[in-house]
Chains A and B, each alone.
Chain A
């Protein structure tokens, strides 16, 4: 069964540095998502992406964040000038069509800001 893959599995970064989290969605899926899960808390929606542009974004997704689909397979989340509170698990997900279809999650990237 095809899966969403994420790299790296764990990223440790100094506060103030930029990080790029990478995702390869399922190949025939059209919608892509990023979520954040702070340790022990619920999953929080960050952004959805369709047709090479942001479809929806939450209040969390401020100017510090950006997403990109640099080629036909990768979907990236960039966090500029990281803060301690950015430490969390970041999940990428994809769905075949819209958000009314099942979303398939990757294994996540654990981001630790020191």
Chain B
């Protein structure tokens, strides 16, 4: 089955800095990669997603890049703000096969004012 590794487990940055979270996946058939933000005690919320037919997608301060050859994808947050502090989860899904989403273990992002 699919295995998703996510790094780092904790990321501490100063407000205004950029943050990068990386995920690798094992199943080359995975073709849909969503990212979720989970604030303490709250529901995971989709913040951005990317499909295997594109290499990069951007939405304001958030961007995701995908390298299919290396089987890794990354979340980039620029100009971080304290409200960006949360746990971020990546996921990989093979939408043509098993359809079972596999999540990474999460990255706790702390943005210091």
How many A-B residue pairs lie within 8 Å, measured between CB atoms? 52
Q: Which residues of B line the A interface, CB within 8 A? A: 31-32, 34, 36, 42-46, 49, 51, 89, 91, 93, 95, 98-106
A86 within 8 A of B: no
In the complex, what's the smallest C-beta–C-beta distance from A6 to chain B, in angstroms? 9
Q: How large is the interface on A (under 10, 10 to 19, 20 to 34, 35 or more residues)?
A: 20 to 34
CA distance A58 to B101 in the complex (A): 10
Contact B106 A55 (CB under 8 A): no
A43 near B42 with CB under 8 A, answer no
Residues of A within 8 A of B (CB): 41-45, 48, 55-56, 58, 91, 98-100, 102-108
Given A42-B106, A99-B32, A100-B51; 13 other pairs, CB 8 A cutoff = A43-B44, A43-B89, A45-B100, A45-B101, A48-B100, A55-B99, A56-B99, A58-B100, A91-B44, A99-B99, A99-B101, A102-B46, A104-B46
- CB pairs A–B below 8 angstroms (26 shown): A42-B104, A42-B105, A43-B44, A43-B89, A43-B103, A45-B100, A45-B103, A48-B99, A55-B99, A56-B99, A56-B100, A91-B43, A98-B95, A98-B99, A99-B95, A100-B31, A100-B32, A100-B51, A100-B95, A102-B49, A103-B101, A104-B46, A105-B44, A105-B45, A107-B42, A107-B43
